[in-house]
Structure 1
């Protein structure tokens, strides 16, 4: 399919009828667009029949201000033109502009127009600039901006500053909701269904991943099973009793947890006693129990409201006696294939046994962390970065093959033990952009550019 970018300018009031657009004659010839006949103009969920007037002196497109307003193009007084990608399908007589990308986020702050999305505002602004460079358009919306059965979404776009507007349903939705409750709400699920059915919208990262779901799915693939520490849903004392004496440490992880919240590390002490370390924002909180059954009694109280995965403890490499793990960002690229965009090492902070940045962890290059670590042999360190990359790619492909949902990016947490073996810790379908920041980032990160390239692939632009 032929593809191109076109600069779209706004004609003065009264210059063009609302059902007419002017298009450079070279574009009309290139796409074989019929002259003087009505065709359908499409921008996301927006549709309108228009006539195309070819112009030999125009190197782009001109549309009327009223039409631009209904399309909700992100234009300001200082910016009277926008560049978008265009294609024409003769079979349906449809001239499409886009892609129009919608990013679904959990909340906005209309009272703070300079930072309407709080801590992720800079990421959103970066995405706007990356879209400009690639001839795409993006807006941001929350579940509160969704109207059932409607063809518009109340969202935010950037036109010199952040503005709210009624936007067409997007071609592509990047689901970055951070709340399972919001994601599973009837309004959001209805919006997904309606957008897919009526506007051929594609939604990616459409659901959260539970830890047990991931491990159970990957266990069936022999090529991936080698990366999996022994792991079970903690459903009874029998499971607990089978795991705790078996390993020096085991971890209890909330099945639906994130950012290291609620993790408990259990260690076997002398005799029959056990120690539980609870991850808290200020550091690890220690409790000692005289017997395993006493410890389980305390845990079982938490199990009334939290489901846990019990996982084999690993002898992770350390830097200055702080455990290190690795966050790989796997993304779909412009041809729909999985690639590894970045891998960074994360070292736990003082008094913490989890490495999340939200818990005081720090980022470093993979090679730097390995060199400083306590790997027991130089052989274990040779090619470790490449083994991490290969494992992350294989796991992303395995998730896609085994779990029936559409993902465009995955945060894959990996570990190296002191012998250099690679292990999977968990997979996150809503990866934090902070944890994936390359350490030599430019103005626009590769991960942001990659997301737009995948959106273009999905939408045919």
Structure 2
């Protein structure tokens, strides 16, 4: 199999028949493509046998406007071209489909709301690598067929057009309800079965699921705070008596929503701090049973995980943790794309940016923190990177799903020990962005490189 990046051009109307493409003479000779015979052309789920015409004046591929319209190809640009000797197939691609939660067709300049600029960034990064990308929502899958999708493309402006099912789907749905919808699951399973579509980040991760899975790996125990799915008072009592403070976290929560910090005060009294958008809500209870009774109503509507409290490093008495973005690269191997430190906002005990947290480099945060002086900044960063890679590999090994990028939240205690807080399979492109980057972030380029790896381009 041979691949290369070439120019692709849509000819003027009437220049080429719809069942014919013009290919640079050098490629025809190099790949020994039979001239005058029909050769299969593939673009995502699109398949058609076409006649090849060699052209000494063409350094790429030319197609008719009618064919380009049916394929959903832009009028000009560069593309990866691949020829498979075994099947005799010419493939254009990769074609990447990004599955997003919603669109706003009436707002042409921002059809995807707050993630529109991220989508433009993906478009530009794909152009640079000779890939193709479109964006689609669960609402575009109502027809039941997996062969094509009503998707958004960009060429001087956003437009909706019918696109073939992609080679790769990057699942960026932000709702479990949307992800589990019948039409979404049907499309993904049929695209995999019929067209060999690869889907990555195909599911959300629940906190108990992650900790239970990683417990199976002896090498990962050192990163895991004691943690259980909170089912009854006995577990709650055991954890509160064992640790000076514990955290209750919604099993399916995000952005710090619903987290409760429980701390032992004097005698039999306990304090509960509830994470709120404008700060922390404090409540004191005369006994542990009274506290448990007050939160048990929450447990009727949502599962909670109870987790050992940690003595995290702090800056100005505000806890600091770290978000590592771990992605698979062009060789399909996990690498660290970025690690940033997140310092909680005033009156907050969670560090999420949505709740007033602030970003800094790992080095700056560690230097200003109360970390033991026996642990160097360099050693701290090394420990964080090693933990993030080990945990990503553990997720791959012990959870039966396909992931291409993970947001891994880590913490350092004051002795320099690394702890896992949680793993996010739909990492925000704001929380995990290193400071002072250029227009196209490394995380975006890496996603396309992994898509090319999966599709063979």
Question: Which interval holds the TM-score relative to the shorter structure?
Answer: over 0.9
Contact 2:146–2:191 at 8 Å: present in 1 too?
Answer: no
Q: CA deviation at 1:34?
A: 1.0
Match of residue 45 from structure 1: 45
**CA RMSD after TM alignment:** 0.9
Distance (whole Å) between structure 2 residues aligned to residue 208 and residue 438 of structure 1: 24
Contact 1:347–1:361 at 8 Å: present in 2 too?
Answer: yes
The one of 342, 355, 358 aligned to 1:359: 355
Match of residue 280 from structure 2: 284
The one of 282, 298, 303 aligned to 1:302: 298
Match of residue 83 from structure 1: 78
1:298-326: CA deviation from partner (whole Å, max 9, x where unpaired): 11111000100000000100111110000
Q: CA deviation at 1:45?
A: 0.8
The one of 130, 135, 140 aligned to 2:130: 135
- When structure 1 is superposed on structure 2, of 27-36 and 407-416 the one drifting more is 27-36
Q: CA deviation at 1:176?
A: 0.4
Distance (whole Å) between structure 2 residues aligned to residue 131 and residue 314 of structure 1: 42
1:9-32: CA deviation from partner (whole Å, max 9, x where unpaired): 111111110000001101111222
Distance (whole Å) between structure 2 residues aligned to residue 376 and residue 390 of structure 1: 20
Q: CA deviation at 1:351?
A: 1.1
Match of residue 166 from structure 2: 170
Contact 1:44–1:99 at 8 Å: present in 2 too?
Answer: yes
Match of residue 219 from structure 2: 223
Match of residue 336 from structure 1: 332
The one of 207, 211, 216 aligned to 1:211: 207
SS in 1 for 2:332: coil
Distance (whole Å) between structure 1 residues aligned to residue 118 and residue 214 of structure 2: 32
TM-score by length of 2: 0.99
Distance (whole Å) between structure 1 residues aligned to residue 109 and residue 375 of structure 2: 51
Contact 1:380–1:421 at 8 Å: present in 2 too?
Answer: no
Distance (whole Å) between structure 1 residues aligned to residue 151 and residue 375 of structure 2: 53
Q: CA deviation at 1:456?
A: 0.2
Q: CA deviation at 1:74?
A: 2.9
The answer to whether structure 1 residue 70 and structure 2 residue 70 are counterparts is yes
- When structure 1 is superposed on structure 2, of 166-175 and 140-149 the one drifting more is 140-149
TM-score by length of 1: 0.98
Distance (whole Å) between structure 2 residues aligned to residue 2 and residue 67 of structure 1: 24
Q: CA deviation at 1:380?
A: 5.8
SS in 1 for 2:341: strand
SS in 2 for 1:311: strand
Match of residue 455 from structure 1: 451
1:39-92: CA deviation from partner (whole Å, max 9, x where unpaired): 1111111111100000111111111000000011133xxxxx121101111222
Going from structure 1 to structure 2, the CA distance change for 1:382 and 1:339 (only over 3 Å counts) comes to closer
1:225-250: CA deviation from partner (whole Å, max 9, x where unpaired): 00000000000000000001211110
Match of residue 315 from structure 2: 319
Distance (whole Å) between structure 2 residues aligned to residue 102 and residue 150 of structure 1: 13
SS in 2 for 1:399: helix
The one of 99, 105, 108 aligned to 1:110: 105
The answer to whether structure 1 residue 94 and structure 2 residue 89 are counterparts is yes
**Tell me, which stretches of 5 or more residues in structure 1 are unaligned?**
76-80
The answer to whether structure 1 residue 201 and structure 2 residue 200 are counterparts is no
The 5 Å alignment of 1:119-134 reads 119-134=114-129
Distance (whole Å) between structure 1 residues aligned to residue 248 and residue 254 of structure 2: 13
Distance (whole Å) between structure 2 residues aligned to residue 193 and residue 436 of structure 1: 30
SS in 1 for 2:451: helix
Q: CA deviation at 1:150?
A: 4.0
Distance (whole Å) between structure 2 residues aligned to residue 373 and residue 208 of structure 1: 33
SS in 2 for 1:226: helix
In the comparison of the two structures, how many residue pairs are matched? 456
- Aligned structure 1 segments of 4 or more residues deviating by more than 2 angstroms: 376-382
Q: CA deviation at 1:381?
A: 4.4
Match of residue 28 from structure 2: 28
Q: CA deviation at 1:154?
A: 0.7
SS in 2 for 1:378: coil
Distance (whole Å) between structure 2 residues aligned to residue 191 and residue 379 of structure 1: 51
Q: CA deviation at 1:382?
A: 5.0
Distance (whole Å) between structure 2 residues aligned to residue 295 and residue 380 of structure 1: 40
SS in 2 for 1:350: coil
The one of 189, 193, 199 aligned to 2:185: 189
